[in-house]
Amino acid sequence: MPHRSLKVSLGEFKTLLPYLVQYRMHYILGFGCLIIVDAAQVIIPQFMRRAVDLIASGNFTWQQIGTLCAGMVGVMAIISLGRFLWRYFIHGSSRRIETEIREKLFEHLLTLSYDFYQKHKIGDLMARATNDLNAVRMSIGLGLVALVDGTIMAASILVIIFIQDARTAAFAVLPLPFITVSILLFGSALGKRFKKAQETYAAMSDTVQETFAGIRVVKSFVKEWWFIKKFADTNDDYREANMALVKLYGAFFPLVVFLSGLTTIIVLLVGGIRVVEGFMSPGDLLALFRYLQMLIWPLMGAGFTVNMIQRGAVSLKRVNEVLETKPSIASLAVPKKPSKPADAIVIRDLSFAYPEGSAVLSGITLTVKQGAWVGILGRTGSGKSTLIKAFTRMIDPPQGTVLVKGLDVRDWDLQELRGCFGVTPQDSYLFSDSIRNNILYRLKRDEVAQGHVEQDERLLNHAAALAALDTDLTSFTQGVDTPIGERGLTLSGGQKQRTAIARALIGEPEFLILDDALSAVDAETEKRILTGLLAERTGKTTIIVSHRVSTLRNADYVLVLDQGRIIEAGTPLELIAGGGFYARTAALQQLDQDSSDV
C-alpha cells in the first residue's frame, strides 16, 4: 500500500514537467551547487581525522594543524557560497513556477462556465490558489533538495565509512532498515491526514469569505454570535486536522532520532574495541562518529522528502482538478459570424431545465425585431432570468432554439456574442473600486492605455446621465472617483443599480438587457431613466424584465411568463384589455399606488 501511494503521488507531478523543463538550467545549476556542497561537507571529517591522528601521535607541528584549519575554513567558505547559490536557483525557480501556476489557475477559472461556481465555493477555490500552491512549491523546492541532498549524502557517507572500516560500518547500519520502514509507513499515513487538513482549511476559508461578504446582513440580524460559533467550529476542525499531523510528526521524528542514536552506541562499542585492538586510529573513530552524525540528516531528510511529496501531491491533485475541468459552455473551434440581416432575437420552441431540477422553460417561442422594446413580466421563479441567460449563453440552450442576429448562439464566438449585450443582472455586483472604474469596466483596457481619456470621459458622463446617477455624484466626497467598498457596500440599493446600468450603457451595446434593474429606484428616477433610454432607442434592442407594470408601459411587446411558459403576449394596451395576469397586476399595483398617495 505505501508503494502504491508513492506511485500515485509521483503521478500527480507529471503536470509540472513542462515547468521543470522550462527552468531546467536553473535546476541543473542549483543541483550542481548542491552536489559541490555535499562533496565539501564529506571532506571536512577527513581534515578532523588527520588533525586528531597528528595530535595523538605527538609528532606534529602547529604549522601542520594551522594548514588543516585553513583548509577547513576554505571548504566551509565553498559550502556557504554553494548553499546560497543552490537556494537562489532552486528556490527561485520553485517560486516562479508557483507564480505561473497561480496565474494559469486564475486564467482558467475565468474560462469556466457559470455552473462551475454554483458547485464550488469561493473559499475552497481560494484555498487551492494559496495554501495548496504553497505546498506544491515546497515539494518542487525543499522537497527536491531533500531528495537529492539526502540521496547523495547517504550514499557518499556509506561508501566512505565502509571503505574506512567495513566491519564497524556493517554493525552501525543495522538500524537503517527500520528507519526505511518507518519512513514508508509515515508517508502512507501522511497523505490522508494532510488532505483532511487542506479540506478543513478550505471550509474555514469559505466561512470567513461568506461572513465578511455578507457583513451587512450579519449585523442587521444581530447574528455575530452565530457566525463566531460557526467559525470557531471550523477553526477547531482545522486545529484537530493539524494536530493529527503533529501527532504523526511527534511519533516519527523522535523514532528516527532514537534509531540513529543506536548507530552511535554501536560505533562506540564496536569502534572502541577496534581502536584498542589497533585496527582503527583515534582519528578514524572521530571521523566515523562525525559521518554518522551527518547521516542523521539524510535519514531525517528522507522523511522530509516523503512529507513534501505527499503534501505536494495532495495539493497538486486539488489544483489539477480545477485545471482539468472543461468549460461546460465554450465557443466552437471555428465560430461562425452573422452573414445577413435578420431579426434581433428569435426563439424557437425553447425548453430548458437545470441538471438538478425540473423544467424552467417550456415551449418558449418569440421573435424580437431589431430596435424593439420588449418587456417580460412574471411571478418569482417563472423563468424570466433563465430566459435572459439564454440570450448571452450563460446557460446552454438546445441547438437551434435561440438565434441572435440570425445565428444560433451555440455557433457564435462567446466573446463576440456577449460583447453585443449590455446586461444589468438582478444582482448589481460592483467591484471594490471607484465609481468611475466600475462604470468604465466594460471598456477595453487597451483603449484606455492608448490615450482615449477624453472619449472615455464623454462616454462616462453620458452613461451616468442616462442612468440618472449624475445628480448623486455631486453629493459624493470625491465625485465619480469615490471608492465604493466591496460589492458597493457604501452605496444604496438604487445607487448600485444605477451604477450597474451606466456600466451596461457605456459600451453602446446593440442589445440592452435590464433584469429587474430598476426595483430599488423610486418612480420619479425610474421615469427619468426610461425617458432617457427611449430618446436613444434608435437601433438598440432593449429587453426589460420587471415586476412593475409601470416599467413596461412603453414596451412595444410584453411577455407574461408563468411556470416557464408564455401565458400572455402583446402590447401593454392589448394585455390590459385582455383582463389576464398583466391586467390584474396593473390594477393591483395601481391600487397600491393610490393607497400610498392617500
Q: Higher-confidence residue: 450 or 305? A: 305
Q: Buried b vs exposed e over 81-95: b needs ≥16 C-beta within 10 Å?
A: ebeebbbebbbebbe
Contact status, residue 275 vs residue 282, Cβ threshold 8 Å: yes
What mean pLDDT is predicted for residues 489-497?
A: 84
Contact status, residue 578 vs residue 377, Cβ threshold 8 Å: no
Range scoring the smallest mean pLDDT among 102-116, 248-262, 344-358, 490-504: 248-262
* 266-293 residue pLDDT tens: 878 887 888 777 777 888 888 888 887 7
Residue 444 is predicted with a pLDDT of 55
Structural element, H or E, at residue 408:
strand 407-408
Strands 421-424 and 511-515, how do they pair?
parallel
Residue 187 is predicted with a pLDDT of 62
What mean pLDDT is predicted for residues 441-462?
A: 68
Range scoring the smallest mean pLDDT among 236-240, 274-278, 303-307, 502-506: 303-307
- pLDDT averaged over every residue in the chain: 84
What mean pLDDT is predicted for residues 294-321?
A: 79
Q: Which three cell numbers stand for residue 53?
A: 591522528
Contact status, residue 143 vs residue 309, Cβ threshold 8 Å: yes
Q: Higher-confidence residue: 178 or 482? A: 482
**At 573, is the pLDDT very low, low, confident or very high (cuts 50, 70, 90)?**
very high
Longest dimension (CA), the chain: 123
How many CB atoms are closer than 10 A to CB 212?
11
Residue 114 is predicted with a pLDDT of 82
Residue 452 is predicted with a pLDDT of 65
- 22 pLDDT higher than 90: yes
Contact status, residue 166 vs residue 119, Cβ threshold 8 Å: no
Residue 191 is predicted with a pLDDT of 64
**At 9, is the pLDDT very low, low, confident or very high (cuts 50, 70, 90)?**
low
Q: List phi, psi (to 5°) of 485.
A: 75, 170
* 216-254 residue pLDDT tens: 677 767 778 888 888 898 889 888 888 887 887 777 777
The arrangement of strands across the sheet holding 541-545 comes to 421-424, 511-515, 541-545, 373-378, 557-562, 565-570
What Rg value do the Cα atoms of the chain yield, rounded?
36
Residue 67 is predicted with a pLDDT of 85
Give the separation between CA 517 and CA 492, rounded to whole angstroms: 14
> Could you give the dihedral angle defined by the CA atoms of residues 25, 31, 32 and 37, in that order, rounded to the nearest 10 degrees?
150
* 195-208 residue pLDDT tens: 788 778 878 887 88
Percent of the chain with pLDDT over 90: 26
What the chain holds in terms of domains, given with CATH numbers, is: 11-323 (1.20.1560.10), 342-414+541-598 (3.40.50.300), 421-509 (3.40.50.300)
Structural element, H or E, at residue 299:
helix 282-323
Helix (H, G, I), strand (E, B) or coil at 539: coil
- Among 506, 559, 555, 507, CA closest to 530: 555
- Among 191, 242, 244, 232, CA closest to 208: 232
